[in-house]
C-alpha cells in the first residue's frame, strides 16, 4: 500500500526569568531543577512547543499561535503537555499516524543530560507512540549569543507522520 509520508519542523524560544517558586522550569513536560524558569503565556515549555509546531506543520494544520493564541485567557499558565495532547488528537482526526519525532533543546544551564530520557518518555506517552520513536537531544550555545548568555532557551523538532495515500 502506498503511504503519504510528511514531515514538519518546529522552532520555539522563550526567555529565562527569575520567577521561582511561581514558575518551575519545564521542558518536554518534565520539571527541571533550576533557579530560573522560562517566561511565557503558558508554562513556556519550548521543547513541547517545538514538537507541537512540528506536528501541526507535518499535517498542514497551521501553527501553535493559531490554535492557542496568547491573547486567550484559557491558555494562561497552560500545561503544554495538555496542548500537545490536543494537537495529537487533531492529527489523528485528520487520519495521520505519528511515526517519529526528533528534537533538540538548547539551554546553557543546567545540564539536561540527566533529564533527556524522562523528557522523551513524557513526550512519547503524550504522542501515543513507543519511546524508541522519540528522541530528545540537549546542547548548549557554547556561550554564544542570547541563549549562550543564559537569557533563554530554544527548542527544535522534526515530526514524521504517515497515512494511507
Q: Given the rule CB under 5 A, which residues bind Mg ion?
A: 12, 49
DSSP assignments along 37-89, one per residue: EE-SSS---HHHHHHHHHHHHHHT---HHHHS-TT-GGGTT--HHHHHHHHHH
The residue (of 82 and 162) whose beta carbon lies closer to Mg ion is: 82
The residue (of 7 and 11) whose beta carbon lies closer to Mg ion is: 11
We find the least distance from the C-beta atom of residue 42 to Mg ion, in angstroms, to be 7
Instruction: Round to whole Å and give the CA distance between 104 and 71.
Output: 28
The residue (of 12 and 108) whose beta carbon lies closer to Mg ion is: 12
We find the least distance from the C-beta atom of residue 120 to Mg ion, in angstroms, to be 19
We find the least distance from the C-beta atom of residue 12 to Mg ion, in angstroms, to be 4
CA distances from 113 to 24, 101, 104, 106, 138 (A): 18, 18, 12, 12, 7
Amino acid at each position: 500500500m502506498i503511504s503519504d509520508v510528511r514531515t514538519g519542523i518546529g522552532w520555539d524560544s522563550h526567555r529565562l526569568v527569575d520567577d521561582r517558586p511561581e514558575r518551575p522550569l519545564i521542558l518536554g513536560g518534565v520539571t527541571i531543577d533550576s533557579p530560573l524558569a522560562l517566561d511565557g503565556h503558558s508554562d513556556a515549555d519550548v521543547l513541547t512547543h517545538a514538537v507541537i509546531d512540528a506536528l501541526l506543520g507535518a499535517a498542514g494544520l497551521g501553527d501553535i499561535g493559531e490554535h492557542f493564541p496568547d491573547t486567550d485567557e484559557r491558555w494562561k499558565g497552560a500545561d503544554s503537555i495538555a496542548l500537545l495532547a490536543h494537537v495529537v488528537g487533531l492529527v489523528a482526526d485528520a487520519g495521520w499516524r505519528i511515526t517519529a519525532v526528533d528534537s533538540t533543546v538548547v539551554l546553557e544551564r543546567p545540564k539536561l543530560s540527566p533529564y533527556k530520557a524522562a523528557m522523551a518518555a513524557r513526550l512519547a506517552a503524550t504522542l501515543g507512540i513507543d519511546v524508541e520513536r522519540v528522541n530528545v537531544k540537549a546542547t548548549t550555545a557554547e556561550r554564544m549569543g542570547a541563549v549562550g548568555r543564559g537569557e533563554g532557551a530554544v527548542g527544535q523538532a522534526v515530526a514524521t507522520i504517515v497515512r494511507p495515500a
